[in-house]
Structure 1
């Protein structure tokens, strides 16, 4: 690493949050409060690194480190859509080439630092970070993923309605005619129960107990709001926990009762919540399964790519992780 660059942990919460809140790649999932909750739920150790150039903080990186037997893993934790690299929002020079050079320098320094310390690294970066070539050039795996994001700034309700697909508008009107109503709730147990109902024909993608613990801690810390939609017979048809910062709202954890799948209630819930959002953007958090993507596309968001970068110290470890992934999919 050139002598004018150095990487060091950032342990002061105020210093970290001040940087993360104004950086490219900063989200609610990179704040000190969120990371402390993840640390408690996961049993891992939060890693907050700063890349300094001539003692000035130019980039950061956050993830969770855990020991798995003889191996040390670093990654974006479950139930955190993104962590990864954060880049200072004020480039040192003018023009796109200066920004690209600064970004690539940050990637290269973190790649060298992390690969010398961890056996397996899997980090999901935000859609704001579009140039992940340095990881590929360094021999890391790049996995392309997608989400839908809906721009809300200066959009009237009628303009947002025009973006919604016809089939989804029909579903929303149907739910309204059937008398479904949306409301805020604090019923974490109900959300967890309906999260499990979505996957009643197979295993949940994330352990239900972990989801429950994470939801409870996030709610107690004021990091999430929960909204549900109920029928006129007081049955909850769908329920979603949302996480937000000043610029973006994220649909974090969702549940639904399959008995109400054809009611349009879930579409109504998202529509009503979006209409009252004060943020500039709404992220539906993932569109990587056909059925999920089909539902979320109907709300009129833009399809946005993002990347997961993955490193293995050796092929033996790569094979172990692949085998474990195959068993987890059953």
Structure 2
């Protein structure tokens, strides 16, 4: 009933609004950054393309592995159905597609590990095929709705508003990377991507209009910076990385940054995904901002 095939990344059949996570330019840039091969796993029903999954693979000693690159937060399964299709028919058809995708991946890859997107709420097809589905979490904000800050964040916001910060949308990758280096040094963590390669990746996607940078500036210096991904005409934006100078964190800069980012993107997108809620410190901050918790699933065979 369904035919599956791997193809080189392409926009063919994906419509006019291609999600950034499956956009061919994004896939190729991520694959180059991580030294991987990228594909789109395409599902056809007759001549109609009905589903697509981004795939990143590596081979070592003849063993193929499906990997989840650090910089590609989601590898969701995306569907395209004709208008007017009954919801229960869509539910059953998607369950069938998921099962066939799972079997295909199991046959091709000795090891597999990837994160679905939050819209992939039904993972039964993966589980029934013998794969594991681990729940992970993110915070999302509907940009048409208000949000309610907890008292501590309101205090931080008032403090930040007294600091004469300037808000801007400007691409300045080296300044972002400087802040990012400081963040990882402060936390005693290792960032597993070379910074020259990261800068090249940022520039590639910015040139393709898939990436934007939003900054808080004080005395002419960027003190908090955000990298945001989104496909052209997509209704959701994804804030994948943020770094804030340590002394400005104490002055509420991150709270003000989140507020201004929401206000700026409200006229452009329907929702904003903050891409993460899986460490206590990050989860507490995003919850205190009043954003909505959502689950997504990590699929693996181990």
Tell me the TM-score normalized by structure 2: 0.90
Deviation at 1:74, TM superposition (A): 1.2
* 1:237-274 deviation digits (Å, cap 9, x = unpaired): 21111112431111122112112221111111121121
- Superposed, 1:88-107 pairs within 5 Å as 88-90=80-82, 93-96=85-88, 98-107=89-98
Q: Note if 1:15 corresponds to 2:12.
A: yes
Other-structure match for 1:236: 222
Counterpart for residue 264 of structure 2: 276
Judged with a 3 Å threshold, the aligned counterparts in structure 2 of structure 1 residues 206 and 300 are, in CA distance, closer, same or farther, namely: farther
The Cα shift of 1:10 comes to 4.1
Q: Does structure 2 conserve the Cα–Cα contact (< 8 Å) formed by 1:141 and 1:309? A: yes
Residue number in structure 2 paired with 1:258: 246
Assess, with a 3 A threshold, how the Cα gap between structure 1 residues 80 and 16 changes in structure 2: closer, same or farther. Answer: farther
Structure 2 counterpart SS, 1:295: helix
Name stretches of at least 5 consecutive residues in structure 1 with no aligned partner.
Answer: 313-330
SS at match of 2:72: coil
Unaligned runs of 5+ in 2: none
8 Å Cα contact 1:145/1:305 also seen in 2: yes
User: Alignment partner of 2:122: what SS?
Assistant: coil
Shift of 1:289: 0.3
Q: CA deviation digits over 1:285-319, x for unaligned, max 9?
A: 1110000111112222110000010125xxxxxxx
**Per-residue deviation, residues 134-165 of structure 1 (Å, max 9, x unmatched):** 21222212111111110013x4xxxx3x5232
What SS is found at the alignment partner of 1:173?
A: helix
1:166-181 to structure 2, matched below 5 A, reads 166-181=151-166
Aligned Cα root-mean-square deviation (Å): 2.1
Matched position secondary structure for 2:97? helix
Which of the pair has the greater relative contact order for Cα pairs under 8 Å at 6+ separation?
A: 2
- Secondary structure at 1:170's aligned position in 2? helix
Query: 1:199-214 residue pairs with structure 2 within 5 A?
Result: 199-200=184-185, 201-209=187-195, 210-214=197-201
Distance 1:78 1:58 in 2: 27
Give me the whole-angstrom Cα distance separating, in 2, the residues matched to 1:306 and 1:300.
Answer: 19
Partner SS state of residue 204, structure 1: coil
SS at the partner of 1:183? strand
The residue number in structure 1 matching 2:132 is 141
Which of 196, 200, 209 is the equivalent residue of 2:181? 196
Contact 1:124 1:309 in 2 (8 A): yes
Alignment of 1:223 onto 2:217 = no
Q: How many residues align?
A: 296
